[in-house]
Amino acid sequence: MVSMPPGLTAATGMDALTHSIEAFVSTIATPVTDAAALKSIELIKEFLPRAVKDGSDIEAREMMAYAEYLAGIAFNNASLGYVHAMAHQLGGFYNLPHGGVCNAVLLPHVETFNKEAVPERFVVIAQAMGVDVSKMSRAEAAEAAIDGIKKLAAEVGIPAGLAELGAKEEDLNVLAENAMKDVCGATNPREADLAEIIGIYKSAM
Ligand SMILES: [Fe+2]
């Protein structure tokens, strides 16, 4: 692990964060997957920036290995959501690596769409990311979870938008049509129509 470059460390770490968040808001989440997902989110928030900054930080590497393993337990049992459904299309269409980068760019935009369906889940995500939600309304705390995701992505050097990855506006229709056929979308907490999926892609450009 210590030989992984910072960009790959950031991408795979943000992929794990996506696994945990999508599993935590999944329609088939259980107390077991919740426990794994939340611990994983806490560990990623604390240790991913350290692992990216200094790849030889063995404690950060070890804790990220636990975080990624816990995220795997969560999503192998609770499945995923629109972030992966939409990222898979970008990966196939533009030959981008899976991972992390496509997921990381899409994650805050999909969760902005999702948060009105399960705001109470996003309050818990905010807490797992270290936000003091005690004086916040539920909506404010849910928004703070999204802000926390964006800040973490920026901190580890994830590109700001899909255009930087080579995505083109004229392709969004076919990407969205294919995303709607991806099995990962079946457990997303809020159902989107084609126009809404296109809208999420656009907001992530
Ligand atoms: Fe993934």
Q: Ligand 1 centroid vs 11 CA: distance in angstroms?
A: 10
Q: Ligand 1 centroid vs 40 CA: distance in angstroms?
A: 14
Which pLDDT does position 73 carry in this prediction? 98
Residue 1 domain-assigned (yes or no): no
* pLDDT at 97 exceeding the cut of 80: no
Which pLDDT does position 91 carry in this prediction? 86
Q: Ligand 1 centroid vs 134 CA: distance in angstroms?
A: 32
Q: Ligand 1 centroid vs 152 CA: distance in angstroms?
A: 17
Domain range holding 170? 6-204
Residue 116 domain-assigned (yes or no): yes
Distances (CA, A) of 96 to 11, 102, 108, 116: 12, 8, 19, 30
Q: Ligand 1 centroid vs 135 CA: distance in angstroms?
A: 34
CATH number at residue 101: 1.20.1090.10
Mean pLDDT of 101-128: 97
C-alpha–C-alpha distance, residues 43 and 60, integer Å: 9
Q: Ligand 1 centroid vs 80 CA: distance in angstroms?
A: 9
Instruction: Kindly provide the b/e burial profile for residues 156-182, where b requires at least 16 CB atoms within 10 angstroms of the residue's own CB.
Output: bebeeebeebebeeeebeebbebbbeb
Domains in the chain: how many in total? 1
Residue 134 domain-assigned (yes or no): yes
Which pLDDT does position 96 carry in this prediction? 80
Q: What string of DSSP letters covers 75-130?
A: HHHH---HHHHHHHHHHHHHT--STHHHHHHHHHHHHHHHTTTSHHHHHHHHHHTT
- Arithmetic mean of pLDDT over the chain: 96
Residue 112 domain-assigned (yes or no): yes
C-alpha–C-alpha distance, residues 114 and 190, integer Å: 6
Q: Ligand 1 centroid vs 4 CA: distance in angstroms?
A: 18
Q: What string of DSSP letters covers 154-181?
A: HHTT--S-GGGGT--GGGHHHHHHHHTT
Q: Ligand 1 centroid vs 132 CA: distance in angstroms?
A: 28
Which pLDDT does position 100 carry in this prediction? 82
Q: What pLDDT, in 10s, does the model give residues 12-62? A: 999 999 999 999 999 999 999 999 999 999 999 999 999 999 999 999 999
Which pLDDT does position 99 carry in this prediction? 63
| Residues near ligand 1 ion, CB 5 Å cutoff | 15
Residue 55 domain-assigned (yes or no): yes
Closest listed residue to residue 167, CA positions, set 93, 85, 82: 93
Q: If you search the block for the tokens 């950060």, which residue do you land on?
A: 60
Residue 67 domain-assigned (yes or no): yes
Crossing angle of helices 82-94 and 194-204, in 10° steps, is: 70
Closest listed residue to residue 108, CA positions, set 91, 95, 96, 125: 125
